[in-house]
Amino acid sequence: MSDKHSPKHSSSGPAGTSRQASSAEEQTAAVVSVDTAGGAMEPSAVPATAQSGQLPGGPDTLLRKIFTGSGMVSVLAVLLALIIGGLLIASTDKQVATTSTYLFARPTDFLAAVWNAATRSYIALFQGSVFNPRGNGIASQFAPFMETLTIATPLITAGLGVALAFRAGLFNIGAQGQIIVAGILAAWVGFALELPMGLHLLLVLVAGIIGGAFWGGLVGLLKARTGAHEVILTIMFNYIALYFLRYLLNTPAFQRPGESNPISPILDPTAVYPQILGSQYRLHLGFLLAIAATVLVWWLLNRSTVGFEFRAVGANPKAAQTAGINVSRSTILVMAIAGGLAGMSGVAQVAGTEKVLTDGVAATYGFDAITVALLGRSTPWGTFAAGLLFGAFRAGAVQMQIQTGTPIDIVLVVQSLIVLFIAAPPLVRAIFGLNPRRRKPARPATSREAATTGGAA
């Protein structure tokens, strides 16, 4: 039967031209259908991959690829954010203000002052986060780096939680609340129970993870059952957790005896993370667990059926459902795991760095985790690296404030600018003059075709 038809198929012309033409046609449909699929996605599935501007194929040269690729955009985005941050620092600098009064007479003075103001702060930032040349011996010189790792620990695990949810198409703004609930449970187990070494810490960890998983899973449950939007739910849950914590810290069960401030008793020595490089650094076991969590999340996403389900639900929930994947279950599960990961951050806080529970247990780690996940493009190792970077910013900012008086808030500025720029590669490329040839106008145009014609003309 097929013999009868196949010659007809190619009979329209010489084989070569026919093939060429049909491949052109296939390409049309290709672009159109990519966009149709894009339109079918939940908007929240967009952040990680769809915005990298990477379309398959394209005859770009290698060099151009390197310069326009997403890796380069990330580097340039960081650079751009640092430059703008530097300008902000310079704008409030006294020396800069003085020199600006005779700007037109001696512009070099002004520029030098700008340069000095910015670099002074950034050098202090570097010295506070990576390597301090004035330290006493190697151990002390690398102390800032150890501090960076310590601060990066909760950022990494909470960031992984946010990233994992992203991959399943969910916008988890709730790491903050998940850290708090985890902190509450972990701290309580840590100071209220008396258990042997090892078991106690294990229980602290488990309690924290369960707390976070519960708080996250609850959002997943509400979303799956009622269709409520997870962004609103998680924001609200953050506040509910915070006020609940504040309430608890005023109850006898949580408040430190004899203390009028809302602060819990110190956790038992059996309940805290051991310091892995000796007592001179704050770096604790939690960092190794963060590495383990990264590996685990990588495996889960890329090598397990559960991760396949998460990714499928994130990319196209309708198709996932049609293929027999239980979308509700996936939603609940991924939010629970995300919450559990954020919960590890809560444990790192109460059992690692703070060793007590206060209403500042989550600091801003939960919100920073969002930027970490975005910078890491929602991949496990990307998130890990982004966590280290932002950890370095946080650690170095303290030193920077002491040395140069530049407020810590500059870190927030740089951090948010990085994410904004990373999310908009065309803007970064335009600023650095790296726009690839005529690619940008093509995309919107074709997706428009898909939108108006539904892919069938």
Partner 1 sequence: MVRVLKLELRGITKRFGTLLANDHIDVVVEPGQIHCLLGENGAGKSTLMNVLYGLYEPSEGEILIDGTPVSFRGPGDAMEAGIGMVHQHFMLVPVFTVAENVALGAEPTKAAGFLNLDETRRRIKEISDQYGFDVDPDALVEDLPVGVQQRVEIIKALVRNAKVLILDEPTAVLTPQETDELLDIMRQLKSGGTSIVFISHKLREVKAVSDTITVIRRGKVVGTADPAASTTELASMMVGRAVSLTLDKAPAQPKEKTFEVRDLTVIAPNGQHVVDGLSFDISRGEILAVAGVQGNGQTELTEAILGLQDRVHGSILLDGKELLGRSVKEVLNAGVGFVPEDRSVDGLIGTFSIAENLILDRYDQAPFAKGIGMSPAKVLENAKSRIEEFDVRTPSGALAAGTLSGGNQQKVVMARELSRPLRLFIASQPTRGVDVGSIEFLHKRIVAERDQGTPVMIISTELDEVMELADRIAVLYKGKLVGIVPAGTGRDVLGLMMAGIAPEEHTHPAPAGTATAATSDAEGGDHV
Partner 2 sequence: MSTTVSSSRSGNPQPESAGKDASAATVSAKPVSWKTPVLLTAFGLIALVFFGLLAPSQTASFGISTGSDFFQLPALEVNAFAGGLVLSILMLGLAAYAVYLKTRDKAAPGWLTVAFIVLFVAAFLIWVVGGARTPSISLAGLIAGSVTLAVPLVFGSLSGVLCERVGVVNIAIEGQLLGGAFTAAIVASITQNPFIGLLAAAVAGAAVSMVLALFSIKYLVNQIIVGVVLNVLVSGVTGFLFSTVMQANKAQFNSPPGLDIIEIPVLSGIPVIGPILFRQSLVGYLMYIAVLVVWVGLFKTRWGLRVRAVGEHPQAADTLGINVNATRFWNVTLGGAVAGIGGSFFTLVAIDSFTKEISGGRGFIALAALIFGRWNPIGAFFAALLFGFADNLQSIVTIIGTPVPSQFMAMLPYLVTVLAVAGLVGKSRGPAASGIPYVKG
Q: What angle do the packed helices 380-404 and 107-129 form, to 10 degrees? A: 120
CB of 163 to partner 1, least distance (A): 16
Find the DSSP H helices in 41-69: 62-68
The verdict on 304 binding partner 1 (CB under 8 A) reads yes
At 398, which helix (H) or strand (E)? helix 380-404
Q: What is the dihedral of CA 79, 81, 85, 88, to 10 degrees?
A: 120
Residue 11, binding choice from partner 1, partner 2, none, Cβ under 5 to 8 Å by partner class: partner 1
**By C-alpha distance, which of 84, 85, 72, 122 is closest to 428?**
72
- Report the greatest alpha carbon distance in the chain: 94
| Shortest CB 237 distance to partner 2, Å | 7
d(CA 378, CA 159): 8
Is 420 a binding residue for partner 2 by CB under 8 A? The answer is yes
Residue 210 has which token pair? 């369960």
Q: Which structure tokens are listed for 72?
A: 């380069």
Pick one of 374, 386, 392, 398: the residue that binds partner 2 (CB under 8 A).
Answer: 374
Taking the CB of residue 108, how many other CB atoms lie within 10 A of it? 8
Q: What is the 3-state secondary structure (H, E, C) of 345-391?
A: HHHHHHHHHCCCCECCCCCCHHHHHHHHHHHCCCCHHHHHHHHHHHH
From the list 111, 110, 118, 126, the residue with the least C-alpha distance to 90 is: 118
DSSP assigned state of 323: T
Cβ-based nearer residue to partner 1, 93 or 309: 309
- Among 15, 40, 66, 139, the residue binding partner 1 under the rule CB under 8 A is 40
In the list partner 2, partner 1, none, the entry touching 392 (Cβ below 5 to 8 angstroms by class) is none
Q: Which two tokens stand for residue 134?
A: 């004035």
By CB under 8 A, how many residues form the interface with partner 1?
Answer: 63
* Binding range to partner 1, per CB under 8 A, among 157-165, 324-332, 345-353, 392-400: 324-332
Q: Per the structure block, which two tokens stand in for 22?
A: 């049909």
The answer to whether 98 contacts partner 2 (rule: CB under 8 A) is no
The identity of residue 57, as a single letter, is G
Question: Which member of 66, 197, 319, 430 binds partner 1 (CB under 8 A)?
Answer: 319
CA angle 358-283-367, nearest 5°?
Answer: 50
- Interaction between residue 100 and partner 2 (CB under 8 A): no
Of the candidate residues 155, 210, 389, 450, the single one contacting partner 2 (CB under 8 A): 450
Q: Which of 13, 39, 107, 269 binds partner 2 (CB under 8 A)?
A: 39
Distance of alpha carbon 284 from alpha carbon 291, whole angstroms: 12
Residue 417 interacting partner from partner 1, partner 2, none (CB closer than 5 to 8 Å by kind): partner 2
202 lies in the site for partner 1, by CB under 8 A:
no
371 lines the binding site for partner 2 (CB under 8 A): yes
Q: Could you give the 3-state DSSP secondary structure of residue 275?
A: strand
438 binds partner 1 (CB under 8 A): yes
Alpha-carbon span 284 to 416, nearest angstrom? 28
Residue 426 as a binder of partner 2 (CB under 8 A): the answer is: yes
* Residue type at position 225: R
Q: Which residues contact 433 (CB under 8 A, 6 or more apart)?
A: none
CA distances from 27 to 24, 30, 34, 56, 387 (A): 5, 5, 10, 11, 39
| 439 touches partner 1 (CB under 8 A) | yes
Nearer CB in complex with partner 1: 327/413 = 327
How far is Cα 278 from Cα 359, in angstroms, rounded to an integer? 29
49, interface contact from partner 2, partner 1, none, CB < 5-8 Å by kind: partner 1
Query: Which of 133, 137, 198, 227 is in the footprint of partner 2 by CB under 8 A?
Result: 227
The angle that helices 70-91 and 409-423 make with each other, rounded to 10 degrees, is: 150
C-alpha span between 331 and 164 (Å, rounded):
11
Cβ 426 to partner 2 shortest distance, Å: 6
Among 17, 20, 23, 261, the residue binding partner 1 under the rule CB under 8 A is 23
227 binds, among partner 1, partner 2, none (CB under 5 to 8 A by kind): partner 2
What would the x/- binding string for partner 2 be over residues 170 to 209, using CB under 8 A? -x-x------------------------------------
Alpha carbon distance 210, 280 (integer Å): 31
- Separation CA 181–CA 188 (nearest Å): 11
Q: Interface mask (CB under 8 A) for partner 1, residues 46-85, using x and -?
A: ---xx-----xx----------------------------
By CB under 8 A, tell whether 25 contacts partner 1. yes
Which stretches of the chain bind partner 2, using CB under 8 A? 36, 39-40, 42-44, 46-47, 51, 88, 92, 171, 173, 222, 225-229, 231-233, 235-237, 239-240, 243-244, 246-247, 250, 317-318, 367, 370-371, 374, 406-407, 409-417, 419-420, 423-424, 426-427, 444-445, 447-452, 454
Which stretches of the chain bind partner 1, using CB under 8 A? 1-2, 4-5, 8-9, 11-12, 21-31, 33-34, 36-38, 40, 49-50, 56-57, 303-306, 308-309, 311-312, 315-316, 318-326, 438-439, 441-443, 445-446, 448-449, 452-457
